[in-house]
Structure 1
């Protein structure tokens, strides 16, 4: 199955734009830059939406303008309107359990405590594809909330951007449905020393 909808998770507003929790937004925004796709706000879906071609395949892009914990309220109606099956959807999100500069492609699974996924899974089921963008984890679990809502250090952001570039390089495989090859390339990414 090919990817027909790419969702980036994050929080709206300039105060959150550069925070770790917006890594999913960063991925979609990078796709837009690379492939010349523009996003515009659609009140009906409470999201910024775009349509374009990536490697000769049509794709829709979505950035929910709800807050992270209400992401399903934008993603579910959009997917239903366009009749996308969960296996045609890729959701890009920040991942605490993966170090900054690492990235993983996964199909299915639970929400892993991620508030955006927590709100999407009840609407779509769990069988969608996830691009898990590593942001690392703070030393203490009590710091998670402030950690994800703060900007990464400059070297962390450079590492995260390099991982996002790796995923963008795998887009031809994702857009033609070659998930195994895409997974191998993305999951095998290592930062240059």
Structure 2
């Protein structure tokens, strides 16, 4: 079994925030593949389902922690321990300010790079889990980072956002088959990132 966690903050006021792109990815995966209804467990909203891969269907626990971003590890750790899921079989989708809007990187292991949800998960299950880093751009100044990630996506950002979410869901069998490099390449092929700088995107230009 794989555990896929999308990170975000619970509640309607955060729903369209850049910080909630992980929740959006989880919702897109649930609608693309065979998943049951949402229910509450592991301090999360979870769905159980299957994704077809080249080696046959793979069981997946899909979760959106309801602990707020900074405590995401409590939920992910609880589920991983319950099902005895190895960190290598945990994939976490989250916003990444150090990537330009629409860019995507798969990464296994490493530090948190300032992402508090990732830091929380590392504290619970170690660093060896895999991260789907979804670029939302950097506002250019450190003091603007929090309002940037807690701000909603602009209307002009919707085309690349929807393309990225769909690509992450459509290409998922490669990640579940263990080929993160192929997965990253397929996501970028299906959803080429727009040609603008992160700072332009943060100001809603372009």
Do these two structures clear the TM 0.5 threshold for a shared fold by scoring above it? Answer: yes
Once the two structures are superposed, what CA deviation does each residue of 1:130-185 show, in whole Å capped at 9, x if it has no partner?
00011111121101111111101112232122122222221121222223321332
1:165 matched to 2:163: no
Q: What is the TM-score with the length of structure 1 in the denominator?
A: 0.92
Q: Separation in 2 of the partners of 1:156 and 1:98?
A: 15
User: In the TM superposition, what is the alpha-carbon distance from 1:36 to its structure 2 partner?
Assistant: 4.2
Equivalent residue of 1:71, what SS?
helix
1:14-53 to 2 correspondences below 5 Å: 14-37=12-35, 38-42=37-41, 45-53=42-50
Deviation at 1:51, TM superposition (A): 0.4
Q: 2:6 aligns with which of 8, 27, 42?
A: 8
Superposed CA RMSD: 1.6
Give the 3 Å change call, closer, same or farther, for CA 35–146 of structure 1 in structure 2.
same
| Match in the other structure for 1:183 | 184
Task: Go from structure 1 to structure 2 and tell me whether the alpha carbon gap of 1:103 and 1:146 turns closer, same or farther (over 3 Å shift).
Answer: same
In 2: Cα distance, 1:64 partner to 1:152 partner: 21
Q: How many pairs does the alignment contain?
A: 189
CA distance in 2: counterparts of 1:50 and 1:147, whole angstroms: 30
- Alpha-carbon distance, 1:34 to partner: 1.3
Q: Which residue of 2 aligns with 1:128?
A: 129
> Which consecutive residues of structure 1, in runs of 5 or more, have no partner in the other structure?
none
Q: Report the alpha carbon displacement of residue 124 of structure 1 after superposing the two structures with TM.
A: 1.1
Whether the 8 Å contact between 1:102 and 1:160 is mirrored in structure 2 is: no
In structure 2, C-alpha distance between the alignment counterparts of 1:99 and 1:192, rounded to whole Å: 9
**Structure 2: where are the runs of 5+ without partners?**
196-206
Tell me, yes or no, if the aligned pair for 2:101 and 2:193 is still in contact at 8 Å.
no
Aligned partners of 2:171 and 2:25: how far apart in 1? 13
| Greater alpha carbon shift after TM alignment, 127-136 vs 173-182 | 173-182
Task: Report the counterpart of residue 115 of structure 2 in structure 1.
Answer: 114
Q: Quick check: 2:101–2:194 contact (8 Å CA) kept in 1? A: no
Cα separation, 2, equivalents of 1:179 and 1:20 = 24
Secondary structure of 1:101's match? coil
Match of 1:60 in 2: 61
Indicate whether 1:80 and 2:78 are aligned.
no
What is the aligned partner in structure 1 of residue 200 from structure 2? none
- CA shift, 1:29, in A, is 0.4
Give the Cα–Cα distance (whole angstroms) in 1 for the partners of residues 154 and 185 of structure 2: 28
